[in-house]
Amino acid sequence: MMSFICWGVFQENRLKPRCRQPRAKQNYFVRQLVKFLGLLLAFCWLSQSVMAETLLLKSSKGVPFQLNKVADGLGVPWGMAFIGPEQILLTERNGKIGILDTVSGVITRITGGPKVMHSGQGGLLDVAVPPGYSQRGWIYFSYSKAQQGKGVTTLARAKLKAKRLVTLQDMLITRSASTTGRHFGSRITFDGTGHLFFSVGDRGVRPNGQDLSTHAGSILRLTLDGSVPENNPFVQQKNALPEIWSYGHRNPQGMFYDKKHQRLWSIEHGPRGGDEINLILRGRNYGWPVISYGKEYWGPVQVGEGTEKEGMEKPIKFYVPSIAPGSLIVYSGKAFPAWKGNLFAGALKLTHLNRVEIDNDGKAVAEERLLEGLGERIRALVESPQGWLYFSTDSGKIFRLRPLVNNP
């Protein structure tokens, strides 16, 4: 066995070797050193990546959770829907469509979407898939469509084939034309019995909220093929559009059908104050702009006649000041049992995730504001098959909120 002892002496601040190892032995040591440094760099890079992904560790109702950034660099991701266990179909207001792999963070671009009028608050809006999507394959979209230079909220559907949408159909081009670039709505949800609900804002024209001859300022109900159900409330009423299910809405940008309790929930933007959570009932008038908890933008003056009036529904909950809600879901409780049945809404103006506890009678009994320190305008919100919450932000990011440890 050959062994070597090397020594050196300091001379003019340098270490001079007094012996030399054979070249083969030197090369071996060099190779091992390179391998070690490579592994060390890989470990450091991986550690950095994992740490960068996990942005926040918090708790709610005694349940710890973590927040991860899944994707970045998007436009304004307006709608999200799971089309597989780890695939989110997402829309961007600029008209782009993609499929996000929630494991890798890779987004695959999809072509063949509708031609949108991307102006102001308009563009490609919501995306939703009904129960039984895997068998039927229809995907539903809402978007603003140009009609004689004016934006019109439109409901469409298509099927996904490879990386392209096919069989694109406009199901309802609403009567909601306006020269304003605001208050298009629009969310889509399904009741599980062959119907969909579709919200349309008042298009920035206040009288639309009380006008049944326009779709603006209302929530609509259709069958999955776009026809009007015979039991819609205004089918037989003269000068009323048959698609309308409820009216008196300002700008509902969150809507969710709770199949367990057979309840349709909506959240809408108020003016300066007065955002509302409403339990939507057949044929009811939700008051805008006659009743409101908000004030005029130009001064401290109450909008409308007050906060209540006979024949008009009061909200389950209202927000003063406004949080500017962009979405709404009813949480299943799969990953966070303590949140079962709670309403979650994304807040745009006050930049947080809003959680509201609902009792058995459908009354709001408590509120919590999560992720206020994130500083992001939270737009779309969706629950994964395993009960994790995914949400998008107007800065072009997708985040995931999940437990630190899965709850039984």
Where are the domains positioned within the chain? 56-403
- The beta strands (E) that lie in 129-247 are given as 138-147, 150-161, 164-173, 188-190, 195-200, 218-223, 244-247
User: In Å, what is the CA distance from 312 to each residue of 281, 290, 292?
Assistant: 12, 9, 11
- What's the pLDDT at 102? 97
Predicted pLDDT of residue 19? 41
C-alpha closest to that of 356 among 239, 215, 256, 233: 256
- Mean pLDDT for all residues in the chain: 89
CA angle at 255 for the pair 248 and 345, rounded to the nearest 5°:
110
pLDDT tier for residue 310 given thresholds of 50, 70 and 90: very high
- Is the CB of residue 229 less than 8 Å from the CB of residue 221? yes
Helices (H), 299-395: none
**92, 100 in Cβ contact below 8 A?**
no
Confidence (pLDDT) at 225: 96
User: Residue 360 is encoded by which pair of tokens?
Assistant: 């058995």
Q: pLDDT-derived band of residue 37, with 50, 70 and 90 as boundaries?
A: low
On the question of pLDDT at 120 being above 80, the answer is: yes
Q: What is the structure's pLDDT at 32?
A: 62
Flag whether pLDDT at 289 surpasses 70: yes
User: Residue 10 has what pLDDT?
Assistant: 32
Residue 63's pLDDT is what? 82
Q: pLDDT of 72-82, one tens digit each?
A: 999 999 999 99
d(C-alpha 201, C-alpha 153), whole Å: 9
Residue 113 burial by Cβ neighbours in a 10 Å radius (0-12, 13-18, 19+): buried
Question: What superfamily would CATH give domain 56-403?
Answer: TolB, C-terminal domain (2.120.10.30)
- In this structure, the number of other CB atoms found within 10 A of the CB of residue 72 comes to 13
What is the rounded distance in angstroms from the CA atom of residue 117 to the CA atom of residue 137? Answer: 26
pLDDT band at 56 (very low <50, low <70, confident <90, very high): confident
Tens digits of residue pLDDT in 201-228: 999 999 999 999 999 999 999 999 999 9
pLDDT bin (cut points 50, 70, 90) of residue 404 is: confident
pLDDT in tens, 142-188: 999 999 999 999 999 999 999 999 999 999 999 999 999 999 999 99
The sign of the torsion formed by the CA atoms of 225, 226, 229, 232 equals positive
Amino acid symbol at 129: V
- What's residue 62's pLDDT? 81
Q: What is the CA radius of gyration of the chain?
A: 27
% of the chain residues with pLDDT over 70: 86
pLDDT (tens digit, 9 = 90+) per residue, 222-256?
A: 999 999 999 999 999 999 999 999 999 999 999 99
Give the pLDDT score at 172. Answer: 98
Q: What confidence score (pLDDT) does residue 46 get?
A: 34
Read off the tokens for 135: 């068998």
Predicted TM-score of the model (pTM): 0.86
Q: What is the pLDDT averaged over residues 321-330?
A: 97
Lowest mean pLDDT of 18-27, 54-63, 83-92, 236-245, name the range: 18-27
Spell out the residues 6+ positions from residue 223 whose beta carbon is closer than 8 angstroms to its own. 194, 195, 196, 229
Q: What is the mean pLDDT of residues 326-346?
A: 97
Residue 408, pLDDT score: 40
Beta strand pairing status for 87-92 and 77-84?
antiparallel
Q: Provide the pLDDT confidence category of residue 356 given band limits of 50, 70 and 90.
A: very high
Q: Find, among 273, 265, 267, 269, the residue nearest to 251 by Cα.
A: 269
What is the rounded average pLDDT of the residues 87-93? 98
The distance between the two most distant Cα atoms of the chain, rounded to a whole number of Å, is 106
Catalytic center residues: 183
